[in-house]
Amino acid sequence: MAAVISAASTPATTRISDVVYRADGAPASGTVLISWPAFTTLDSNPVAAGSRTVVLGPQGALSVDLVPNLGAIPAGTLYRVVYQTESGVTTEYWSVGTSSPTIIAAVRTTPGSGTASALVSRQYVDTVVAGKANDTAVVHNNGNETITGSKQFSAPPTVPTPLLATDAANKAYVDSAVGNVGGGSYVSKAGDNMTGPLTLSGDPTAPGQATTRQYVDTGLAAKADRVAGRVPPSELGSGSADATKCLKGDQSWGACGTSSDAISLRGIPLDTTAPGDGQVPTYDAAGGMYRPRAGGGSGLTAGMQAVKYATDFAWTATPSDDLSTAGAKTVNLAACPSGVKGSASEYDIRIAGSGTPETVRVTGGTCSGTGAAGTLQFTTANTHAAGYTVASASAGIREAIEAAGTPNAKIVVPPSGTTGYDIYSLIIRSSRVELSGYGAQLNCYTRGACIVNGDRLSSLINRRNYIRGFRLRPMLNIPSVGLTQVARSSNVSTITTSASHPFTVGDYVVILWTTDKSFYGLYQVRSVPTSTTFTLDGFGSNVPSTASTGSANLELAGIEDNANESTIDDVEFLANTGLERFNFGFVFDNDQGAEVHNPGNNGSGNIFRCDAIHCAPIIYSPGPFTLSAGQLGGAAIATTGVWQWNSVAVGECSDH
C-alpha cells in the first residue's frame, strides 16, 4: 500500500468500524480493496493516490482508518471500495468525514454529485435521468405542436392577438370584441322599449302568444258595439226597437209578451188560473201540472212565519275597520244580518279571532237588521289586530228576538246535543216572548246571569215572558271572597275584601251575610281602586268604615228575572267536568208574579258552589223592592233558597 505523505504532519484519520454481511444475513468473509486518487484534504493536507487491502475479521468485522476526503480537492474525490467475498465481487464508494468512529452506511455515497469531469456509474446516471421527460412528451419553445388533455396555469399565460379562428384569444381581443354587445338594435329578454312596430310571423296559436292587430280586428268584427255603456238596439236584433217592444228569442224586436204566454215549465203544463197575491206555482201531482198554492206562496201561515229559529240568526262578520287600539269604535258591515240593530237596548256582540276575546255593548250604529249595509258602534277594552271577527254573543238567540219584534213572538232554540250553544250575553228586552229551548244546552260564559229576562233597572218595562226547556251549564270558575270592612257615603258603598277579589267595573256582585244587613243585595261594580277594594252603586244612609263579616260573590247565575209575571218551566242545571260552578240558580229582582215550574239539576255537587265562604242558593231574591210574590212548583233540586225582604210562595216541591 502506498504511503500517505504529509509535508508538515500526519493528517488525522477517521475509523470506519462495522460488520459486513452477506445477502442472506450471515457475516461475510473475504477481503476489502480500498483505492483513491490523489487529493488534498479540507485542512490542506496532500494525500497521494494509493490503495489498501483489508481482511474481514471474525464474524465479518471491518475496521479501517482513512484520511477524510469529504470536501477534498478536487471536488468529488471518493474512495473506491471493492468487496471480494464468498458471495462475489461488489463495488461502492465512500465519502469519509471527520466524525470518528463511524459506520459504512454513514460514508457510503453515489459518484457524480461532484464535478462534471468525475466518472460516474450507470446507476448514478439512471437515477438522475429517471425523473426527466422524454423529448417527444414535452412542449418546446419553438415549432408547431398539438397538446392533448387540459392544462392548468398558476399564472395567466400571455398570447399574441389571434389571427385564425382556432387561435387562443387574449383578454384585450375579447374585451374589444364584446364592448358593444347589447348596445345595438336588440330587444332585451328582461324587458325593453321599442321605437317602431313589431311584425309577427302570423296569428297566435296558443293563449300566451302575442297577437297581431289583424287577429284582434277579425275577432271584434262579430261583436256588438257599446255606445255610452250600452249596446245599440239595432245590433241586438233585427227590426225597429222602441219602449213598447222586447227582444225575442229569434233575435228580433217585437211586442212584449205577458205571463199569459207561459203555458209550461220545463215541459210541465201551467194551470190557467191566475195566482193571488203572494202565491207561487207549486206542482200538483194529481193534476200533473203547476197550480197556484193555496194559503200563500210560501206555504206558511202568518203565525208560522212569526216563529223564529235561533240558529237561523247566528252570524259572524270580518270587518276591516281598525281595532288595534282600545276605545270607542265603529265597524262597517257590508250587510247587517237580520236582527242585528244598532238601536237595540242592552245588545251585546262578541269580538274574537285576534287579541283577547271580549263581549262589548252596542251603543249605536246604522244597522237595522234588514240585510242592508250599516255600522255598529261600541267601546273595546282590548286591542284586536286585522283578521278579528264580530259575531253574535248569544248564538243567534237575541238576534232572533229582535227580528221577531215585540210583543207576541216565539223563539225556538233547536236541540244541540251535548255540544251546546256558547252564551256570552243573552238579555231579553221584549214582552210576551216565548223562548223555547227543549233539548238545547246553553254553555254559560257570562259573569252575570246566563239569561237576563227584562230590564235590570225597572220591572215595569217588560212582562209575561216564558223561558222553557233549557239546560244550563256553568263554564267559569270564579270563587267568592270574604269581607273585612264595609262603608257607605252618598249612596256609594266601599267594600274591602280579605283577599284579592276577581271583580271588574260593570260586574254584578251579590253581597251577603254582612254584619250590617243594609248592605245585602245585588249591585253593579262602579270602580276598583285596589285588588282588595271595590265600590258599588248602593243606597241607604251613610255608614262609616266598619269591620264586617260576609261575602262578595260574582253573580254567575243561571237566570236573572226582572220582567213582571214571568214563567220559567223545565229548566235544568248541568254539571261541568272541572271546577266551573254557578254561584246562584235563579235571581229574582222585582217580578210581581214569577212562577218557576219543575226546575232540576244533574249532578248537584258539580253545579253550584258551596265552600267556607259561599254556598249557592237555588233561588235568590235580593230586594229591597216592592213586595213580590212567586211560586216554585215541582222542584227537583237539592239546595237552599235565600229571600231578603221579598216573599216567595213555594208549593208542590219534591226536594231530593
Is it the case that residue 297 has pLDDT exceeding 70? no
Is it the case that residue 401 has pLDDT exceeding 80? yes
**Residue 32 belongs to some domain of the structure:** yes
Whether 451 and 581 map to the same domain: the answer is yes
User: Which position has the higher pLDDT, 651 or 351?
Assistant: 351
Q: Could you give the CA distance from residue 244 to residue 255 in angstroms, rounded to a whole number? A: 7
DSSP run (H or E) holding 98: none
Q: Could you give the CA distance from residue 306 to residue 327 in angstroms, rounded to a whole number? A: 38
Whether 449 and 562 map to the same domain: the answer is yes
Whether 38 and 120 map to the same domain: the answer is yes
Please give the span between the terminal C-alpha atoms of the chain, in angstroms, as a whole number: 143
Asked which of 81-85, 163-167, 352-356, 629-633 is least confident by mean pLDDT, the reply is 629-633
For residue 119, name the pLDDT band (cuts at 50, 70, 90): low
**Residue 261 belongs to some domain of the structure:** no
pLDDT, position 537: 87
Q: CA dist 362 to 347, 365, 441, Å?
A: 6, 8, 26
Closest CA to 65 of 37, 101, 29, 105: 101
For residue 627, name the pLDDT band (cuts at 50, 70, 90): very low
Q: Mind listing the pLDDT tens digit for each residue in 415-444?
A: 998 899 999 999 999 999 999 999 999 999
For residue 637, name the pLDDT band (cuts at 50, 70, 90): very low
Most confident segment among 50-54, 177-181, 240-244: 50-54
pLDDT, position 313: 94
Is it the case that residue 365 has pLDDT exceeding 90? yes
For residue 653, name the pLDDT band (cuts at 50, 70, 90): very low
Whether 380 and 324 map to the same domain: the answer is yes
Q: Which residue has the cell 475496521?
A: 63
Cell triple for residue 113? Answer: 454529485
Asked which of 223-227, 410-414, 427-431 is least confident by mean pLDDT, the reply is 223-227
Domain stop point among 527, 554, 581? 554
Q: Give the mean pLDDT of 98-125.
A: 73
Q: Could you give the CA distance from residue 610 to residue 633 in angstroms, rounded to a whole number? A: 24
pLDDT, position 559: 96
Q: Give the mean pLDDT of 239-259.
A: 72
Q: What is the CATH number of the domain that holds 102?
A: 2.60.40
Cell triple for residue 286? Answer: 194529481
pLDDT, position 4: 41
**Residue 459 belongs to some domain of the structure:** yes
Is it the case that residue 93 has pLDDT exceeding 80? yes
Whether 580 and 603 map to the same domain: the answer is yes
**Residue 171 belongs to some domain of the structure:** no
pLDDT, position 364: 96
Parent domain of 42: 14-127
Q: Give the mean pLDDT of 43-47.
A: 91
pLDDT, position 303: 65
Q: Mind listing the pLDDT tens digit for each residue in 253-288?
A: 777 766 556 677 777 888 877 776 556 777 878 778
Long-range contacts of 378-383 (CB under 8 A, 24+ apart): 378/328, 378/329, 378/349, 379/327, 379/328, 379/329, 380/323, 380/326, 380/327, 380/329, 380/351, 381/326, 382/326, 382/351, 382/355, 382/356, 382/357, 382/358, 383/323, 383/324, 383/325, 383/326, 383/355
pLDDT, position 78: 93
**Residue 566 belongs to some domain of the structure:** yes
Asked which of 60-64, 109-113, 643-647 is least confident by mean pLDDT, the reply is 643-647
Is it the case that residue 406 has pLDDT exceeding 80? no
Q: Could you give the CA distance from residue 537 to residue 491 in angstroms, rounded to a whole number? A: 6
Whether 611 and 462 map to the same domain: the answer is yes
Domain stop point among 66, 99, 127? 127
Whether 522 and 637 map to the same domain: the answer is no
pLDDT, position 14: 93
pLDDT, position 139: 78
Whether 377 and 416 map to the same domain: the answer is no
Asked which of 1-5, 62-66, 162-166, 349-353 is least confident by mean pLDDT, the reply is 1-5
Cell triple for residue 23? Answer: 445477502
For residue 189, name the pLDDT band (cuts at 50, 70, 90): confident
Most confident segment among 112-121, 450-459, 597-606: 450-459
Cell triple for residue 206? Answer: 296558443
Domain stop point among 368, 399, 430? 399
Whether 383 and 413 map to the same domain: the answer is no
**Residue 289 belongs to some domain of the structure:** no
**Percentage of the residues of the chain whose pLDDT score is greater than 90:** 52
Is it the case that residue 180 has pLDDT exceeding 70? no
For residue 10, the one-letter residue type is T
Which residues 6+ apart lie within 8 Å of 590 measured at CB? 459, 562, 625, 626, 628, 646
Whether 468 and 574 map to the same domain: the answer is yes
User: Which position has the higher pLDDT, 264 or 445?
Assistant: 445
Asked which of 18-27, 215-224, 334-343, 444-453 is least confident by mean pLDDT, the reply is 215-224
Whether 579 and 549 map to the same domain: the answer is no
Based on C-alpha coordinates, what's the Rg of the chain? 58
pLDDT, position 618: 86
Is it the case that residue 116 has pLDDT exceeding 70? no
Q: Mind listing the pLDDT tens digit for each residue in 329-345?
A: 999 999 999 999 999 99
Find residue 18's DSSP bridge partners. 62
Q: Give the mean pLDDT of 540-554.
A: 95
Whether 461 and 603 map to the same domain: the answer is yes
pTM: 0.55
User: Which position has the higher pLDDT, 276 or 477?
Assistant: 477
For residue 177, name the pLDDT band (cuts at 50, 70, 90): confident
**Residue 504 belongs to some domain of the structure:** yes
Q: Could you give the CA distance from residue 507 to residue 520 in angstroms, rounded to a whole number? A: 16
Counted domains in the chain: 4
**Residue 294 belongs to some domain of the structure:** no
Most confident segment among 141-145, 436-440, 588-592, 635-639: 436-440
